[in-house]
Chain A
Amino acid sequence: MRKLAWLLLIVALLAWPFAVGEFYVNLVSQIFIAAIFAASLNLLVGYAGLPSLGHASFLGMAAYFSALLTLRLGFDHTLAAPLALAGTVVMAALFGLIALRATGLGFLMLTLALSQVLWGTAYRWVALTEGDNGLRGLTRPHFLGINLDDSTAFYFFALLVMAFSLWMIARLVASPFGAALAGTREQARRMSALGHNVWLIRWITFIYAGFWGGVSGLLFVYYHKYIHPASLSLTSSAEAMLSVIAGGSGTLAGPVVGAAIIVLLKNYVSAYVERWNMLLGFVFVAIVVFMPDGLVPGIKRLWARWGQR
């Protein structure tokens, strides 16, 4: 039963670009990107118990690094991509040093403040980032000689990257390190007493999450061929956080489902009403009040109850 469901999902994902028009292909590509982003945030929120409201820093910085390296320095994508990721990792390491001085709400405020500083800088440092105009004229790379400007090619590229990212994130969660991480979330003191370096475990997770956030940022900038300070904004972080909470934090499938919901909402609703921000606000309130543990755990619970009968 389970295997069949997986098989159906894989077939559906592979057949999708050949069954529908370009709009829907691009829509699902965007879901893939948002899913990586949300899954990387879920490492912090769900598995480490560290609520970050500054995760857009990593998406945005990787995107800006890539854009600036290719645009201003004329680097090739094969060189710019690893450099952008390396830059993002270094930044995540530094941000981790600061933000992990606190946990809980203190951590949340620090991550938020740090990302807001980046956002403000991207707006003001016009000489470097073009400020509110954003950086235009970016290109997509070639992958194995295939031009990713084609929407179907990009779809498969994004699918591949997403599958690999999710697999790598799942591997971390399932590893002994992941078990230790869950321990630091539940009982940080006992983990210390057992000889685990709680701070180090959290710091490594923070950097790992930053890296995958950076990967989603690269896809993001390749997809849009444009980057604006808005991708560093609180809204960007908050949408990812909402995806994680809506889907179910601390589950592997949750952020993917949540990201799909948010992307679909954003695309469909903003086609009919202009008030995306207000809707986002109401969705926030509704999800937190009515569905505090998210869709995936909720459905699982229903499934279990149904199965018992």
Chain B
Amino acid sequence: MQFWVIQTLNSLALGGLLFLLAAGFSLIFGLMRIANLTHGAFYMLGAYIGVSILKVIPNLWLAALLGGLAVALLGGLFERFILRKLAGNELGQVLVTLGLAYIIADLCLVVWGGDPIPLPTPEALESPIEVGGFMFPAYRLVVVAVALATGIALYLLMERTRLGAMIRAGVDDMQMARAVGIPVSRLFTIVFCLGSALAGAGGILGGPIMSAYPGLDADMLPLALIVVILGGVGSLIGAFVGSFIIGFVYTFGIALFPQLAYVILFLPMIVVIAFRPRGLFGRATA
């Protein structure tokens, strides 16, 4: 019983981290039509920057905030000075994001070395909490809570603010959004920064669970891709639901059939692609 409870919690925690990663990926794809393959590298870079920040400021939450900002800045520069030059060249944009992913991954290897570096769990959350006779690692619960809070904040941002309304308009019909005077190119930068920040902060928050290690990017990117394929491109709710589905499938896959965990990832993807190629919550225009 303890096994199932703990694995469920692990699934939720992985789902939460995946949501931080996939939400940005999905928004960027939805608005800008860019499959940002740097996203996994942003996540890893965030984790490593977190390692360095924590040496100076021993507070994980502050580190997540600062690290997210740092990655957002990098993402913004990348969008402004490189991706923008390639507007209209979809394949070119994908390849450039892939190129940047390689550069970042190798830089991380140069700067932080090849050994996994665990991020310390905040002291207050180190001891497990007991609920109904089960011991829960407190930190994982908090990660889930942070992901939920981020989800709600993003939802409010998208549905209740002027900025969100403009982004939605851009996702639905960019030409028309431009025509009615929405500054779409500024939105591009904002959304790209926001997505990068979420990925970077996610890397730091995931640090105490997964550590920072070379290859973290290649481990997370496929999961995020499958989440977005499942949930539907450009859909926040899709990213949310997809993240938790994959969180569960992957965690239980690893626990029960460690050798075939990746094969099991196929299954939800194939089912969704077969019956709803746009993903669970994808729009018809996607």
Contacts and interface: CB of A to CB of B under 8 A. Distances in A.
B156 to A, nearest CB: 28
A233 B222 CA distance: 11
A108 B222 CA distance: 12
A124 interface: yes
Interface stretch (B5-13, B158-166, B177-185, B253-261): B253-261
A243 to B, nearest CB: 12
Chain B interface main SS type: helix
A168 B101 CA distance: 35
Contacts of B218: 233-234
Nearest to A233: B218
B99 A121 contact: no
Contacts of B100: 281, 285
B259 A281 contact: no
Contacts of B20: none
Contact of B225 (A104, A112, A277, A292): A112
A275 interface: yes
Interface stretch (B61-69, B82-90, B191-199): B82-90
A261 interface: no
B94 interface: yes
A163 to B, nearest CB: 29
Nearest to B266: A117
Contacts of B99: 280-285, 288
B94 A110 contact: no
A281 B222 contact: no
B228 A109 contact: yes
Contacts of A117: 222, 262-263, 265-266
A53 interface: yes
B261 A124 contact: yes
B234 to A, nearest CB: 12
B94 A105 contact: yes
Contact of A51 (B94, B261, B274): B94
A284 B105 CA distance: 14
Given A98-B270, A113-B222, A277-B105, A292 B258 contact: no
Contacts of A127: 259
A245 B102 CA distance: 17
Interface of A: 45, 51, 53, 98, 101-102, 104-106, 108-110, 112-114, 116-121, 124-128, 233-235, 238, 241-242, 245, 275, 277-278, 280-285, 287-289, 292
Interface of B: 29, 33, 35, 37, 82, 85-86, 89-92, 94-96, 98-107, 109-110, 218, 221-222, 225-226, 228-229, 233, 258-263, 265-266, 269-270, 273-274, 277, 286
